[in-house]
Amino acid sequence: MTTRENIRIAISAIRGQMLRTVLTILIIAFGIMALVGILTSIDALKGSISSSFSSMGSNSFTIRNSGMNIHMGGKSKRAKRHRKITYYQALEFSERFKYPSQISVSTMADQIGVIKYESTKSNPNITVMGVDANYLDVSGYTLATGRNLTGHDLEEGLHVCLLGKELVDKLFIANSIDNPIDKIVSVGPAKYRVVGTLGEKGSSMGFGGDKVCLIPLSNAKQDYGSEYSTYSITVKLNQITDLEPAIGEATSMMRNVRKDRIGQEDSFEITQSDSLAGMVIDSMSTVTLSATIIGIITLLGASIGLMNIMLVSVTERTREIGIRKSLGATRKTIRKQFLTEAIVICQLGGITGVILGVLIGNLISMAVGGAFIIPWDWIALGFSVCFVVGLAAGIYPAIKASNLDPIEALRYE
């Protein structure tokens, strides 16, 4: 008997016990959906994270007073937090660092800011940053319309700002205003004139790159400055080959600026954009493992259910098996028939689960700023797992069916 005939007989048998088969297919589908769906969303997010951080360039590094706290399951150490980096320390470093590079000093003015234009206002989740003229170049932003902040804006403390795309859409495009340049918006308690808009940056893992308002560093220091304010220094080198020696030079110089004593650990943290992306991606391994375990446990339950269906099928079709054997069917033929039936059921569940998993995984990914992907590796894994589950669940019922005595089977009622 050919494989095609076995599959045809298996489909005919499945139709004969539709309700039990559909329930088993759904259990298998949910297991594969959990496995493929979560792993698909993780893969898409990894790509988005790498893209977002790499837009800052692999030839840049940032000096902060603390490391980045990344917690994504499991135990992790809290990032060290040192005393604040003052405005004057940041400026001193910028003036003394001589490597061929662009240096930008910035500060987080407000993380829950509200931007208002006339009667329209944003949600209270806008990041207001105090930046200098080099910030766009070192941070991966592009200018969509208007102009960048200039040295004159910073020196005079002019009330001008740049708005991220999401803010432009919310405050202006939604109100049929195509050109926000020279419009006056409220940023906190002060009024600012919009001089430029930023190109779309996207978001990853909840970090909204388009919900941002950039104001001159001097204004942020004056309007938002407090005893807790700290500043970040981002250095973008002209040559990537200078990265390691430049970090060494920056460490030495910053220790000098910060008056760190010999033998004392650094009172600041230096992070690279690509290494930060690696940290985030590595921390997702726990989520990947959890998704795999959930999928395997679900599939284990499905395999038990499938084995039960196959055993019931053997009992119900005892007379049929006797007839087949009396007509010349061998034990091997009977085994292949029941194994094929179990594998077909699993593959039907696998197809359903893969389709649902890819759709749900990509919906989750796009909801948090990721891209749409088709994870061929995980799809192949899903079908392979289904084949193994079908084989494992069907082998015992198949052996039981093949070992039936044809005479006894024919007399079975």
Report yes or no on 14 lying in a domain.
Answer: yes
Q: Domain boundary at 267, 293, 314, which? A: 267
Report yes or no on 69 lying in a domain.
Answer: no
Does residue 250 have a pLDDT over 60?
Answer: yes
Neighbour-count burial of 278, counting CB atoms closer than 10 A to its CB (0-12 exposed, 13-18 middle, 19+ buried): middle
Q: How many domains does the chain have?
A: 2
Calculate mean pLDDT across residues 174-183.
88
Q: For residues 380 and 383, give the distance between their C-alpha atoms in angstroms, rounded to a whole number.
A: 5
Residues 218 and 98 in one domain: yes
Report yes or no on 195 lying in a domain.
Answer: yes
Residues 252 and 387 in one domain: no
Calculate mean pLDDT across residues 274-298.
65
Residues 202 and 296 in one domain: no
Report yes or no on 279 lying in a domain.
Answer: no
Residues 96 and 30 in one domain: no
Q: What's the number of CA atoms in the CB half-sphere (13 Å) around residue 392? A: 13
Report yes or no on 61 lying in a domain.
Answer: no
Residues 102 and 243 in one domain: yes
Q: For residues 210 and 208, give the distance between their C-alpha atoms in angstroms, rounded to a whole number.
A: 6
Residues 259 and 303 in one domain: no
* Enclosing domain of residue 120: 83-267
* pLDDT confidence of residue 204: 47
Residues 99 and 232 in one domain: yes
pLDDT tens, 196-248?
Answer: 999 887 654 445 578 899 999 999 998 888 888 899 999 988 877 777 888 88
Residues 324 and 223 in one domain: no
Q: Which two tokens stand for residue 311?
A: 């055993």
Contact of 143 with 198, CB cutoff 8 Å? yes
Report yes or no on 263 lying in a domain.
Answer: yes
pLDDT tens, 63-104?
Answer: 888 765 544 444 444 556 788 899 999 999 999 988 888 899
Residues 152 and 226 in one domain: yes
Model confidence band, residue 347 (pLDDT cutoffs 50, 70, 90): confident
Residues 245 and 172 in one domain: yes
Does residue 191 have a pLDDT over 90?
Answer: yes
* pLDDT confidence of residue 409: 63
Residues 25 and 166 in one domain: no
Report yes or no on 161 lying in a domain.
Answer: yes
Calculate mean pLDDT across residues 25-32.
80
* pLDDT confidence of residue 173: 85
Does residue 382 have a pLDDT over 80?
Answer: no
Residues 389 and 241 in one domain: no
* pLDDT confidence of residue 284: 63
